[in-house]
Amino acid sequence: MTKKVIIANWKMNPQSLTEAKKIVTAITTKVSHFKKVSVIIAPPVIYLESLAKLQNTTLAGQNLFWEESGAYTGEHSGTMLAKSGATYVIVGHSERRAMGETNEMVNKKVKAALKAGLKPILCIGESVRDEKGDYHTFIKEQIMQSLAGLKKVNLKNVIIAYEPVWAIGKNAKREATPAESLEMSIFIKKVLSDMFGAVATKTVALIYGGSVNTKNAEAFLSDGGVDGVLVGRESLTPLKFIQIVYSAEHLS
């Protein structure tokens, strides 16, 4: 990767389009001239079309359905996202998986995203880091099943976000360390290499996404073996998110 990738996942926030526009404008005003960072914002789908009209804004959906149309109440397709202004889409986030999303469903979504011309941000991560290292098998299965059937050429349009569930949110056991991120980065690349070959693997962006904040972002970016970070809560506070982007831009 020539640029670091910093993604803002707003989840079900903020509560109005007016506030969403203020946050986007505050961020892009400060970081749009940066040369070493790609900033992607994933707002609630209801705001996409309006935010796409703002300058210097690259957007992602937070989810999609694998069918293009039909009787699927409450769902939206990749084509809808693309026409609303999204370039990327988050797939398989841990919060979606907690609601019952399987690797097979994620695989359908990855393929649907690519078919619609979107770049999927595939989230993977273990719930428990056991001493025996069984989490390696868990991650390997997530990757293999989520990317099953893809061609080598597809990988250049895929971002993989490693998010250890045990390090996320109020119930987090503890924060993950850059060393643990580096370990998983090496392991994930090995799995991808076995699936698609070493050359194809070099085109995949790998980012970290476990409770990223202004205090730990720079360490993950410099020592975590990743090409960027997926930011949740602090992406809604422009000053904090800008600080994270600034750290990525000014890494030596």
At 205, is the secondary structure helix, strand, or coil? strand
Catalytic residue list contains 49? no
Number of neighbours of residue 68 by Cβ within 10 angstroms: 12
Question: Do the Cβ atoms of 107 and 145 come closer than 8 Å?
Answer: yes
Query: Which pair of tokens denotes residue 75?
Result: 């769902």
- The CA R_g of the chain, rounded to the nearest whole Å, is 17
In this structure, which amino acid lies at residue 246? Answer: Y
Task: Please state, in angstroms and as integers, the Cα–Cα distance from residue 135 to each residue in 139, 164, 169, following that order.
Answer: 6, 10, 20
Q: What is the largest CA-CA distance in the chain?
A: 51
Catalytic residue list contains 175? no
Question: Do the Cβ atoms of 159 and 60 come closer than 8 Å?
Answer: no
- The residue annotated as part of the active site, out of 126, 163, 180, 234, is 163
Instruction: Give, rounded to a whole angstrom, the gap between the first and last alpha carbons of the chain.
Output: 15
Q: Residue 41 pairs with which residues in a beta bridge?
A: 8, 59
Q: Measured in whole angstroms, how far is the alpha carbon of residue 152 from the centre of its chain?
A: 20
Query: Which pair of tokens denotes residue 165?
Result: 């569930």
Q: Which residues are catalytic?
A: 93, 163
